[in-house]
Structures are given as structure tokens and as C-alpha cells.
Structure 1
Amino acid sequence: MNALSSKYAGQNFTILGFPCNQFNKQEPGANGTEIMNGITHVRPGFGFVPKFPIFEKIDVNGDNEHKLFTYLKRNCPPTKDAFDPVLLFYLPIRGSDVAWNWETFLVDENGRVIHRAAPATDPESLSADIDVALSKAKGNSQQTVVG
């Protein structure tokens, strides 16, 4: 995601990060310093510092899912057909659920979800979709990646 942030710096494009602890409890830290330490030193680690805003930890699936993710999922097909409930920490499990951390949504300047990418997708592969969205945008329109 940092590569995309750098590639599109100065253009009408923003990446937003939303930590979530619903997938194998991989984000147990408290909001703020603990989450940033986890990102920097554990996952992805190796001194990673995001070049995009990281918001407070939220639920992206289940009974307590954030309304943003309810909207995103309702407007784009899922990236996975089946889920391993042993690694998931929420209920109920639905077919439209975010499959895992780093699943990505590309949203156009009107808030329309135009692409949803599986968690293991190389962020650079989103460039073609981002380029198309930016070429269609006019004025001060903003493209956003949510992950």
C-alpha cells in the first residue's frame, strides 16, 4: 500500500487503513501506539511505517461490523466462496464477509465501490483500476482505497 501511496502522491487518491482483530486475533493491540508497534515490528514488520492514515480498530464483519464495511460489502461481490470458521472471531459468518486482513476496496469520487481485491492481492496490481478511475474523475474528485 505504501508503494501505491507514493505512486499516486499529489493526485486525487487516498489510502485508508482500518485495523481489525477478527481474523485469527492478528491485531490484538490497543488503538494508537500498540497497533502501530504491531504494524512496524510484527505484521508486516521489518520497520514498516504506513504512508497512509490508520484509523481505530473496528469490526468489519459480524453483528458489530462498522457501517462503512456494511456498505462496501453490499456494493461489491465477495473475494472468497468459503471461510474457515476456526480462524474467525465474529458471528454470524456471511458469504459477503471480508475474507481476511488487507482485503481492499477501491471507491470512486462518488462513493461507488468499483473494485474489491482479495487479501493476498499485490497492491500494485490495483494500479490499472486506479488509473482508470483517476482518468474518469474530474476537478477535485478523490479516489480512495479502503483496506
Structure 2
Amino acid sequence: MTTVYDFTATAIDGTDVPLNRFRGKALLIVNTASKCGFTGQYAGLEALQRQYADRPFEVLGFPCNQFGNQEPGKAAEIAAFCTSTFSVDFPMFDKIEVNGPNRHPLYDWLTRQKRGFLGSRDIKWNFTKFLTDREGRVVARFAPQVEPADISGPIEALL
């Protein structure tokens, strides 16, 4: 059976990161953007990361420019923005596509595991969130409007 730990992604610094590195942790995987109405959620995501810093949990951020050209920058610009504006300390990855023929394999798998509104696989907007359990299975998908703090309950249930 495939799990989230079977994938590799490129970190924002250009290094390949086998997601197996996070084995045994619940993960909140989020497609992000720096110029979006939901960009303020970076603060909530970082708050979750800090709240559960001593627990088996990690937030993973995947910048994406597929929605309204809201993530136009290069990796270094994105990293600098996240650090300077929101003190982001959770792992950030290189910009990816979450929909279409160039959809990253991780997102191809995530969207097959938990479909969105009316059964659609497509990600509708930035800050769609996927929660995986400590065995690497997708247990929930949250719409962009769901604030990170509102996911505390489901995270607690997994820890």
C-alpha cells in the first residue's frame, strides 16, 4: 500500500527530501502562496508547528503558482518572504503544480485519497490542506477557508 512516506519532493533549497524522513509523524500538507487572500494562514500553520513541536507532527508547505499567479517568485524569494514575514520554521518545498498534467506525484496521490467538493480531485485554491496519520495515510482534506487552528482537534486525535 502506498503512503505519503513513499514520495520524494524537492526542498525549497533545492535538495531532494524523501518524505520517509517524516515517518511516524502526522503531517499537514498545504499548497501555499505568498500573494493570496489566505496568505495570513502561514501564521496559523507556524503556530500549529510550534504547538506540536515536541509531538510527532509536522507541517509541510508546497508553494504553487496555479491560482491567480499568486506565487510568482523563485524559491529563494519565497523562502525569504516566509521567514521574514511569518517566521516560518516548518519545512518548505520548491514550487510545484497541484493540478493538471504536471501535477506533482505527491499531489496526484493525495487527491486520489481524499477528493474535494462534489468528488473532484482538483485543488480549488491555495491553502488546501491534507492531514495524514502517523502511518502515512490521508485522513482528511480541508478547504482553503478552514483556518489552521480549526484543525487542532483532528491533529490531537492522531497524536
What is the distance in 1 between the residues matched to 2:91 and 2:127? 14
In the TM superposition, what whole-angstrom CA distance separates every residue of 1:42-90 from its partner, at most 9, and x where no partner exists? Answer: xxxxx21212011000001100000100111101120x34xxxxxxxxx
The runs of 5 or more residues in structure 1 that have no matched partner are 42-46, 82-93, 135-147
TM-score norm. by structure 1 comes to 0.73
RMSD: 1.7
**Aligned match of 1:91:** none
Q: What amino acid maps onto 1:11 in structure 2? A: R
Unpaired segments ≥5 residues, structure 2: 1-44
Higher strand share: 2
Map 1:1-147 to 2 at 5 A: 1-31=45-75, 33-39=76-82, 47-78=85-116, 80-81=117-118, 95-134=120-159
Radius of gyration: which is bigger? 1
Distance 1:116 1:76, change over 3 A: same
CA distance in 1, matches of 2:122, 2:82: 23
Number of residue pairs the alignment of both structures matches? 115
- Bigger proportion of residues as helix: 2
CA distance in 1, matches of 2:120, 2:114: 12
Moved over 4 A (4+): none
Percent of aligned pairs sharing the same letter: 43
Q: Quote the Cα distance in structure 2 between the aligned partners of 1:29 and 1:61.
A: 19
